[in-house]
């Protein structure tokens, strides 16, 4: 199948598919006219990569996961380790976002939001720097 069909089946843009080929994640064959010719196997890899990327796995992680996917003698412990690392990264990001949310909620709560110029949000953003309107 051509790249458009592979893109439709995998849900990936053709540009992404060409990039994945460029970095060696996939290896479609070439037809006599030089066009990419995607087998069912290569298309299945694209679906796999699309799903892995949607879960936030990095390109190096996708490369490792794809290698494990293709290795029938793999240990599931290796797959679990990679997924566990990704899960821990997500947990760290969630904690960071929750912290940011708490700070911003506090600032919004302390701001009167009226016609006065005093604003704790701007004061906090300025930090220790001299206000812009100071001489």
Predicted confidence (pLDDT) per residue in 92-126, tens digit: 999 999 999 999 999 999 998 888 888 889 988 88
6 in a structural domain: yes
Q: Return the C-alpha torsion angle 122, 123, 124, 125, nearest 10.
A: 50
Asked if the structure places residue 23 within a domain, the reply is yes
pLDDT digits (tens, 9 = 90+) for 29-70: 998 998 999 999 999 999 999 999 999 999 999 999 999 999
Whether 32 maps to a domain, the answer reads yes
* In-domain check, residue 86: yes
- CATH code where residue 53 lies: 1.10.1660.10
Q: How far is CA 2 from CA 42, 48, 76, in A?
A: 11, 18, 33
pTM: 0.77
| Domains of the chain: total | 2
- Asked if residue 62 belongs to a domain, the reply is no
| CB atoms inside a 10 Å sphere around CB 4 | 11
**Dihedral sign of CA atoms 71, 76, 81, 82 in order:** positive
Q: Residue 115 is part of which domain span?
A: 75-135
Please report where in the chains the tokens 């206000």 appear, as a residue.
131
Asked if the structure places residue 87 within a domain, the reply is yes
Residue 9 lies in a domain: yes
Q: Would you say residue 67 lies in a domain?
A: no
């Amino acid at each position: 199948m051509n790249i458009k069909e592979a893109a439709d089946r995998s849900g990936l843009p053709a540009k992404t598919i060409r990039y994945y080929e460029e970095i060696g994640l996939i290896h479609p064959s070439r037809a006599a006219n030089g066009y990419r010719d995607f087998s069912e196997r290569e298309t299945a890899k694209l679906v796999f990569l699309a799903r892995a990327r949607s879960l936030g796995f990095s390109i190096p992680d996708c490369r490792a996961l794809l290698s494990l996917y293709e290795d029938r003698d793999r240990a599931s412990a290796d797959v679990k380790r990679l997924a566990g690392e990704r899960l821990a990264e997500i947990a760290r990001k969630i904690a960071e976002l929750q912290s940011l949310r708490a700070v911003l909620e506090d600032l919004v709560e302390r701001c009167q939001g009226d016609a006065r110029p005093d604003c704790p949000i701007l004061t906090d953003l300025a930090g220790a720097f001299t206000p812009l309107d100071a001489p």
